[in-house]
Amino acid sequence: MEQKFSLWFTEYQTADVKISCRVNKTIHQEKTPFQNLAVIDTVQYGRMLVLDNVIQTTVMDEFVYHEMITHVALNTHAAPRKALVIGGGDGGTVREIVKHRTIEKVVHCEIDGAVIEAARKYLPEISCALSHPAVEIVIDDGIKHVQNNKNTYDIIIVDSTDPVGPAEGLFSAAFYRDIFGALKDDGIFVAQTESPFFNRDLIPRLYRDISGIFPVSRLFLGNVSTYPGGLWTFTMGSKKYDPLEVDVSSIPKMDTRYYSPAIHRTCFVLPPFVEELIKNRDEE
Ligand code: SAM
């Protein structure tokens, strides 16, 4: 039998679980001041952004993550005008935010300018809104940015890497308190909060911190096939609006492939093993 020469990229999702993708070509590789960055072209998922050997996003499945981290919050707010994205250097979250007609300004605060540059060059489908006139790019640590901008934003989205390295502080109660301060009186915050299979200590801690700071806190789910375990959590903290009270029939028609008015409702329906993670947090 003819053996085809093949190259594979492997990520250790945990010490004991790996995901491997057959690679057509390495498009770009560099060591930035913050992390090792690679863009690779894979057979199954198309182009993929990898930071420190961890898959960040792929052209094939990015829409799930970017739509869910954005539209649930923006369609919960009555009229979001000013949004902040922390992290999200690939630009996918910004691309989804500018689909909302009320949006006047998006501040995109990414610590590593090299991620933005690589996304502009090699991931145009994802980064295409980074030059939108409403978007201002700030290369800075998101932690500092929220400390220095009080009472400023309607929406804050934390589209971060995993809780190690420069993103570690983006998963702390002190940071969530600063986010509360950077939001206006009816502001909403949402963050990606990892896998309910593999992060069973982290999620309860984050949920307890967020629900101790925000009057409304909700956890919701999406399915991102390249992330560990597939099923992914997002956690929302809101000063006023409750995503469960949204009249989903009034959500404007949007150009989306995963998020829909029905998903806005069903993403909050949690399987018991996920519900368990956030139950009775106040009683502990
Ligand atoms: N969707 C992705 C995931 O869950 O794997 C996250 C994608 S996005 C590329 C994550 C970005 O967060 C990276 O570009 C990283 O440089 C940025 N980041 C990490 N820590 C940060 C911080 N403290 N302030 C701003 N950006 C940060």
Give percent of the chain above pLDDT 90: 95
* Domains defined along the chain, listed by start: 7-58 (2.30.140.10), 62-282 (3.40.50.150)
Q: Whose CA is nearest to atom 16 of ligand 1?
A: 112
Indicate if ligand 1 lies below 6 Å from the C-beta of 56: yes
Which CA distances in Å does 62 have to 58, 146, 151, 205?
Answer: 5, 26, 31, 27
Q: What is the pLDDT of residues 230-259, one digit of tens each?
A: 999 999 999 999 999 999 999 999 999 999
pLDDT of amino acid 4: 67
Indicate if ligand 1 lies below 6 Å from the C-beta of 142: yes
Indicate if ligand 1 lies below 6 Å from the C-beta of 168: no
64's enclosing H/E stretch is helix 62-74
pLDDT at 193 over 60: yes
Query: Can you tell me the mean pLDDT for 64-88?
Result: 98
Query: Can you tell me the mean pLDDT for 147-153?
Result: 98
Query: Can you tell me the mean pLDDT for 173-199?
Result: 98
For strand 82-87 and strand 105-110, is the pairing parallel, antiparallel, or unpaired? parallel
* Cα distance from N-terminal residue to C-terminal residue, the chain: 61
Annotated catalytic residues are 159
Question: Any residues with CB less than 8 A from the CB of 50 and at least 6 apart, and which?
Answer: 9, 11, 37, 38, 39, 40, 56
pLDDT at 271 over 60: yes
pLDDT of amino acid 2: 60
**Quick one: which atom of ligand 1 is closest to the CA of 35?**
16
pLDDT of amino acid 1: 58
pLDDT at 123 over 60: yes
Best residue for ligand 1 mutational test, from 57, 123, 160 (most atoms within 8 Å of Cβ): 160
Indicate if ligand 1 lies below 6 Å from the C-beta of 70: no
Indicate if ligand 1 lies below 6 Å from the C-beta of 90: yes
153 closest CA partner among 185, 115, 199: 185
Three-state DSSP class for 199? coil
pLDDT of amino acid 284: 47
Q: Whose CA is nearest to atom 12 of ligand 1?
A: 87
262 CA → ligand 1 middle, Å: 29
pLDDT of amino acid 96: 98
The DSSP 8-state label assigned to residue 204 in this structure reads H
CA distance 89 to 112: 8
- Please state, rounded to an integer, the average pLDDT across all residues of the chain: 96
Q: Residue 83 has which token pair?
A: 């949004």
